[in-house]
Chains A and B, each alone.
Chain A
Amino acid sequence: MKSVISFALAGLVAFSASFANAGCGTCDKSIVEVAAGNKDFSTLVAAVKAAGLVDTLSGKGPFTVFAPTDAAFKKLPKGTLEELLKPENKDKLVAILKYHVVAGKVMSKKVVELDAAKTVQGQKVKIAVKDGSVMINKAKVVKADIPTLNGVIHVIDTVILPKATKGKKKAAE
């Protein structure tokens, strides 16, 4: 457990350092370009490519993306990510990624005034401010307001998952 925490902290520190100078250097790049330009989002970028969402998230938008770091993906149960990246699970991967996207550019000042937001996937995420932290479901926002050409990125420390639908219906159309 300690090693997991250490790893997460190390990732967070590295992430913070890498974005310390982000400022408006990201304003002329799309969400995908900004993510691709940061090594802490390599898993997210790979997932976006596998899901075929590059064009969508490079489009006009605007979008608000709650972007999990690589460390966040590592917190998923073993084998989960590998399964999601398989072609036969593309629909499920698309649903999960869309669950991290909200239509419109919602800066953190507005986010903290909300208690929920409808995602592009269709379901809502819960938003709460607790003990000085902004929570998206059970994920903590570790960096907010990274501006991009087509929206804004808020970085989260945990992958958030939509509720599974009943029956044979797939989890996220």
Chain B
Amino acid sequence: MFGKSKFASLAAVAAILLGAVAYATKLLPAKVIQITEDSAGWSKADDFRWVVLSGDPASKIFHTVDTKSRLDEKRKVTSLRGPMALSISHREEKEKTPPYLAWYRIANPTQDDNGSWTLEDAANSKPYAVDLAAASFLLTPAKRLTSGTPKKEPSDLDIFKAYEISESSCEPIELQLDHPLVGTMAGKATPKYLCMPVEESHHDEVFPIKKPDFCFVVYELINPAEKENIMSLTSIDQFGIHSLSATQSSLICVPARVHSPH
């Protein structure tokens, strides 16, 4: 279904993620990279080409929201802690304040078995099957604070849940992403998370799903290059203002489509 030629022009995928976040007793999935897409009608190229930084926040918050993705039969109380990582749009080079996604760890993961699904993604030449476990992170639109008024987030940027992929028929594939902020990320990678849009209720505000069919797979590089801290940054999202020290990256995000469970 996805011929190589279709994806030859696919701009690299990828992104960088930062470092292992020493969180409680365990490290965070240290690095995430995100995205990309291009041809093949996945979405507009600039809409989802990201680098993901992860890092150690100066302080973490606890927050509780209600969420519902297509995998949830009903709204779920979702306890969050973070932010633990940030995905940065590839538009960093074009815009002063590109859109971000802030990654919050879900402190009360539920529904360990989310079924078997078939995925197609923009980096893979053929569909593959995955078993989904619990959702580990909630990703919410964010902005980076520098100086001056930050630009508004893209109006069609959703909130996502990142479901862990416990089993996959996908063989390791080569991924690469060149990002002005973090350089080139490349290497063999396997799918780690499937991110699906969610509806969220937070206090008296409801965030509906804007692009229900837009999902993405987060690949993890098998042998990521070691990198020094990249930067310190301040972000703002629906939960407040946060400072992060960004470190390495080993995760790359790729636009995907999800088909019905087996």
Which residues of A approach B to under 8 Å, CB–CB? 16-17, 19-25, 27, 107-109, 112-113, 115, 129-134, 141, 143-145, 147
Q: How far is the CB of B157 from chain A (nearest CB, A)?
A: 14
Residue contact B146 to A132, C-beta cutoff 8 Å: yes
Say yes or no for B239: interface residue by CB 8 A criterion.
Answer: yes
Q: How far is the CB of B247 from chain A (nearest CB, A)?
A: 18
Residue contact B62 to A132, C-beta cutoff 8 Å: no
Residue contact B237 to A23, C-beta cutoff 8 Å: no
Q: With A112-B150, A129-B147 as given contacts, are A23 and B62 in contact (CB-CB < 8 Å)? A: yes
**With contacts defined as CB atoms under 8 Å apart, how many contacts are there between chain A and chain B in the complex?**
69
Residue contact B63 to A24, C-beta cutoff 8 Å: yes
Q: How far is the CB of A153 from chain B (nearest CB, A)?
A: 11
Q: How far is the CB of B244 from chain A (nearest CB, A)?
A: 10
Q: What does DSSP make chain B's interface, helix, strand, loop or mixed?
A: strand
For A27, A132, A133, which residue has the most chain B Cβ atoms within 10 angstroms?
Answer: A132
Q: With A16-B58, A129-B145, A132-B145 as given contacts, are A143 and B64 in contact (CB-CB < 8 Å)? A: no
Top-4 shortest CB links A-B: A132-B234, A145-B240, A23-B62, A16-B59
Residue contact A145 to B239, C-beta cutoff 8 Å: yes
Say yes or no for B203: interface residue by CB 8 A criterion.
Answer: yes
Residue contact B64 to A134, C-beta cutoff 8 Å: no
For B143, B239, B240, which residue has the most chain A Cβ atoms within 10 angstroms?
Answer: B240
B64: which of A19, A24, A112, A130 is its contact (CB, 8 Å)?
A24
Q: With A131-B146, A132-B145, A143-B240 as given contacts, are A22 and B234 in contact (CB-CB < 8 Å)? A: no
Q: With A109-B236, A109-B238, A112-B145 as given contacts, are A129 and B150 in contact (CB-CB < 8 Å)? A: yes
Given A23-B63, A109-B237, 18 new contacts (CB under 8 A): A16-B59, A20-B61, A20-B62, A21-B61, A22-B61, A23-B64, A24-B63, A24-B203, A113-B149, A129-B146, A130-B147, A132-B144, A132-B146, A132-B147, A132-B233, A143-B59, A143-B241, A147-B203
For B60, B62, B238, which residue has the most chain A Cβ atoms within 10 angstroms?
Answer: B62
Q: How far is the CB of B79 from chain A (nearest CB, A)?
A: 8
Q: How far is the CB of B56 from chain A (nearest CB, A)?
A: 13
Cα A132 to Cα B147 in complex, Å, equals 6
List residues of chain B with CB within 8 A of the CB of A25.
62
Q: How far is the CB of B59 from chain A (nearest CB, A)?
A: 4
List residues of chain B with CB within 8 A of the CB of A23.
61-64
List residues of chain A with CB within 8 A of the CB of B147.
129-132
List residues of chain A with CB within 8 A of the CB of B150.
112-113, 129
Q: How far is the CB of B187 from chain A (nearest CB, A)?
A: 32
Closest to B147 in A: A130
Closest to A113 in B: B149
Closest to B97 in A: A129
Residue contact B62 to A21, C-beta cutoff 8 Å: yes
Q: How far is the CB of A165 from chain B (nearest CB, A)?
A: 30
Cα A22 to Cα B150 in complex, Å, equals 26
Say yes or no for B41: interface residue by CB 8 A criterion.
Answer: no
